[in-house]
Amino acid sequence: MFHTGWKIATLALAMGLIGGCGKAKQPWERVYPAKGLVSYKGKPLSNAIITLVPVDPSIPASVRPSAISAADGSFQLGTYSRIDGAPVGEFKALVLHYPVVGKKESPSAGPNDLPVKYARAETTDLKLTVTSSQAELATLELK
């Protein structure tokens, strides 16, 4: 009995030590569900590439949540995987859209057909705020 209790105590202690080892997660490593809509001139924008650039300097510039919008303009952000969410914070939103051009047999992506201001962090006026308590984001309305 003593021997079994000792094994359990040792195992519990070891798990506690192992669990406490390593670096604590940084605030930007924790992501929360985040989804929204994107529209251009009042109509849903499908196949748009949405990339968020952090405004908060504590989030590294390399953390860039992104998504591709569906036919109805809806999108779900992903940071470390396709739809895992985004860290809490304020972001500038970049939106690009590359229409399919060429023949049906050999289609390719044409040039971005949205106003250039939405393609650069320095010029976009689109902003989104991600919170831990609300998954629904403001609609990105491009004009």
For 73-101, write each residue's pLDDT tens digit.
999 999 999 999 999 999 999 999 999 99
In a domain, 3, yes or no: no
Residue numbers of the domain that contains 113: 27-142
Amino acid 1: pLDDT: 47
In a domain, 6, yes or no: no
The CATH number of residue 48's host domain is: 2.60.40
In a domain, 59, yes or no: yes
Spell out, as residue ranges, where the chain has pLDDT lower than 70.
1-28
Angle at 38 between CA 73 and CA 54, to 5 degrees: 130
Domain count, the chain: 1
| C-alpha 61: how far from chain center | 13
How far CA 103 is from CA of 47, 54, 98, 110, in Å, comes to 19, 39, 15, 12
In a domain, 71, yes or no: yes
In a domain, 9, yes or no: no
In a domain, 121, yes or no: yes
How far CA 21 is from CA of 17, 18, 28, 142, in Å, comes to 6, 5, 20, 47
Amino acid 28: pLDDT: 65
Amino acid 56: pLDDT: 86
In a domain, 40, yes or no: yes
In a domain, 69, yes or no: yes
